[in-house]
Amino acid sequence: MKNKKQFKQFIKTNKIGIVLGAVLLAAVAENAANAGGVVVGINITPPIVVAPPVVVAQDDYVYYPNYGVYYNSNRHQYAYLNGGAWVYAPAPYGVSVGVLLASPSVHMDFHDSPEHHHAEMMQKYPRNWNGGGQDHGHDDHGHDKN
Protein backbone atom coordinates (compact mmCIF):
# COMPACT_ATOMS: atom_id res chain seq x y z
CA MET A 1 0.00 0.00 0.00
CA LYS A 2 2.84 2.29 0.68
CA ASN A 3 3.99 1.96 -2.92
CA LYS A 4 0.54 2.77 -4.22
CA LYS A 5 0.48 5.94 -2.13
CA GLN A 6 3.85 7.04 -3.49
CA PHE A 7 2.72 6.34 -7.03
CA LYS A 8 -0.38 8.51 -6.65
CA GLN A 9 1.74 11.32 -5.16
CA PHE A 10 4.18 11.04 -8.10
CA ILE A 11 1.38 11.26 -10.67
CA LYS A 12 -0.22 14.22 -8.87
CA THR A 13 3.12 16.09 -8.69
CA ASN A 14 3.96 15.43 -12.31
CA LYS A 15 0.51 16.55 -13.46
CA ILE A 16 1.00 19.87 -11.63
CA GLY A 17 4.42 20.27 -13.23
CA ILE A 18 3.04 19.52 -16.69
CA VAL A 19 0.16 21.96 -16.23
CA LEU A 20 2.50 24.72 -14.95
CA GLY A 21 4.91 24.15 -17.84
CA ALA A 22 2.07 24.35 -20.38
CA VAL A 23 0.78 27.60 -18.85
CA LEU A 24 4.27 29.12 -18.90
CA LEU A 25 4.81 28.08 -22.52
CA ALA A 26 1.46 29.58 -23.54
CA ALA A 27 2.30 32.87 -21.79
CA VAL A 28 5.66 33.12 -23.56
CA ALA A 29 4.09 32.25 -26.92
CA GLU A 30 1.35 34.86 -26.43
CA ASN A 31 3.91 37.58 -25.56
CA ALA A 32 5.98 36.68 -28.61
CA ALA A 33 2.87 36.82 -30.83
CA ASN A 34 1.85 40.20 -29.41
CA ALA A 35 5.35 41.69 -29.79
CA GLY A 36 4.48 42.69 -33.37
CA GLY A 37 7.93 41.89 -34.78
CA VAL A 38 9.77 43.88 -32.13
CA VAL A 39 13.09 42.29 -31.28
CA VAL A 40 14.21 42.57 -27.70
CA GLY A 41 17.98 42.78 -27.23
CA ILE A 42 20.70 44.03 -24.95
CA ASN A 43 22.74 47.02 -26.05
CA ILE A 44 26.30 47.19 -24.78
CA THR A 45 28.08 50.50 -25.25
CA PRO A 46 31.71 49.99 -26.26
CA PRO A 47 34.31 51.60 -24.01
CA ILE A 48 35.60 55.02 -25.04
CA VAL A 49 39.34 54.96 -25.70
CA VAL A 50 41.22 58.25 -25.61
CA ALA A 51 44.66 58.13 -27.20
CA PRO A 52 47.30 60.73 -26.42
CA PRO A 53 48.02 63.22 -29.21
CA VAL A 54 50.78 62.22 -31.61
CA VAL A 55 53.57 64.74 -31.98
CA VAL A 56 55.57 64.44 -35.16
CA ALA A 57 58.78 66.44 -35.26
CA GLN A 58 60.16 67.33 -38.66
CA ASP A 59 63.74 66.47 -39.43
CA ASP A 60 65.95 69.52 -39.23
CA TYR A 61 69.45 69.40 -40.75
CA VAL A 62 72.70 71.36 -40.55
CA TYR A 63 75.14 70.61 -43.38
CA TYR A 64 78.95 70.62 -43.03
CA PRO A 65 80.16 70.92 -46.65
CA ASN A 66 83.87 70.39 -45.90
CA TYR A 67 83.04 66.87 -44.72
CA GLY A 68 79.81 66.11 -46.59
CA VAL A 69 78.10 65.50 -43.25
CA TYR A 70 74.56 66.42 -42.19
CA TYR A 71 73.42 66.67 -38.58
CA ASN A 72 69.77 66.01 -37.72
CA SER A 73 69.08 68.07 -34.59
CA ASN A 74 65.78 66.32 -33.78
CA ARG A 75 67.14 62.79 -34.01
CA HIS A 76 70.65 63.67 -32.80
CA GLN A 77 72.10 61.74 -35.75
CA TYR A 78 74.70 62.39 -38.39
CA ALA A 79 74.06 61.42 -42.00
CA TYR A 80 76.77 60.93 -44.62
CA LEU A 81 77.66 58.89 -47.67
CA ASN A 82 79.99 55.97 -47.05
CA GLY A 83 80.87 53.67 -49.93
CA GLY A 84 77.88 54.85 -51.95
CA ALA A 85 75.37 54.14 -49.15
CA TRP A 86 73.78 56.62 -46.76
CA VAL A 87 74.71 56.08 -43.14
CA TYR A 88 72.81 57.49 -40.14
CA ALA A 89 74.92 57.32 -36.97
CA PRO A 90 75.25 58.93 -33.53
CA ALA A 91 78.71 60.28 -34.44
CA PRO A 92 80.30 61.51 -37.68
CA TYR A 93 82.76 59.29 -39.52
CA GLY A 94 86.35 60.38 -40.10
CA VAL A 95 86.11 63.66 -38.16
CA SER A 96 85.65 64.54 -34.49
CA VAL A 97 82.59 66.47 -33.38
CA GLY A 98 84.83 69.35 -32.24
CA VAL A 99 86.49 69.70 -35.66
CA LEU A 100 83.12 69.39 -37.37
CA LEU A 101 81.59 72.11 -35.18
CA ALA A 102 84.52 74.44 -35.87
CA SER A 103 84.01 74.08 -39.64
CA PRO A 104 81.60 76.14 -41.77
CA SER A 105 78.00 74.91 -41.74
CA VAL A 106 74.66 75.88 -43.18
CA HIS A 107 71.13 75.18 -41.96
CA MET A 108 69.09 73.22 -44.51
CA ASP A 109 65.59 74.20 -45.64
CA PHE A 110 64.45 70.63 -46.36
CA HIS A 111 62.90 68.27 -43.81
CA ASP A 112 63.25 64.91 -45.53
CA SER A 113 66.30 62.74 -46.12
CA PRO A 114 69.54 64.48 -47.21
CA GLU A 115 69.99 61.90 -49.96
CA HIS A 116 67.19 63.63 -51.90
CA HIS A 117 69.07 66.94 -51.87
CA HIS A 118 72.77 66.03 -51.63
CA ALA A 119 73.66 66.59 -55.31
CA GLU A 120 72.16 70.09 -55.19
CA MET A 121 73.85 70.87 -51.84
CA MET A 122 77.26 69.77 -53.17
CA GLN A 123 76.91 72.26 -56.05
CA LYS A 124 75.60 75.05 -53.84
CA TYR A 125 78.06 74.41 -50.99
CA PRO A 126 81.24 72.73 -52.35
CA ARG A 127 83.74 71.07 -50.01
CA ASN A 128 85.91 74.21 -49.94
CA TRP A 129 82.93 76.47 -49.06
CA ASN A 130 83.87 78.76 -46.17
CA GLY A 131 80.49 80.29 -45.36
CA GLY A 132 81.64 83.85 -45.95
CA GLY A 133 82.66 84.16 -42.29
CA GLN A 134 79.04 83.95 -41.09
CA ASP A 135 77.47 81.57 -38.59
CA HIS A 136 75.01 79.54 -40.66
CA GLY A 137 73.35 77.44 -37.99
CA HIS A 138 75.99 76.20 -35.55
CA ASP A 139 74.91 74.58 -32.37
CA ASP A 140 76.89 72.22 -30.16
CA HIS A 141 74.74 69.17 -31.03
CA GLY A 142 74.66 68.38 -27.35
CA HIS A 143 78.40 67.55 -27.42
CA ASP A 144 81.50 69.13 -25.98
CA LYS A 145 83.79 70.58 -28.63
CA ASN A 146 86.84 68.77 -27.23
Q: Is 133 helix (H, G, I), strand (E, B) or coil?
A: helix
CB 62 within 8 A of CB 138: yes
C-alpha count within 13 angstroms, C-beta hemisphere, residue 34: 6
Residue pLDDT tens, the chain, 146 long:
566 666 566 656 666 667 666 666 666 666 555 555 566 677 888 888 888 888 778 889 999 999 999 999 999 999 999 999 999 999 999 999 999 999 999 999 998 999 999 999 999 999 989 876 554 444 555 544 44
Burial 25-34 (b: 16+ CB within 10 A, else e): eeeeeeeeee
Nearest to 65 by CA among 130, 18, 134: 130
What pLDDT score does 30 carry? Answer: 62
For residue 143, the 8-state DSSP code is: S
**Chain centroid offset of residue 83 CA:** 33
pTM of the model: 0.56
pLDDT in the model for residue 81: 94
What pLDDT was estimated at residue 45? 83
pLDDT at residue number 142:
55
Number of C-beta neighbours around residue 59 at 10 A: 17
Provide the pLDDT for residue 136.
46
The whole-number pLDDT of residue 44 equals 81
Closest CA to 69 of 97, 46, 36: 97
Q: Rounded distance, CA 43 to CA 32, Å?
A: 20
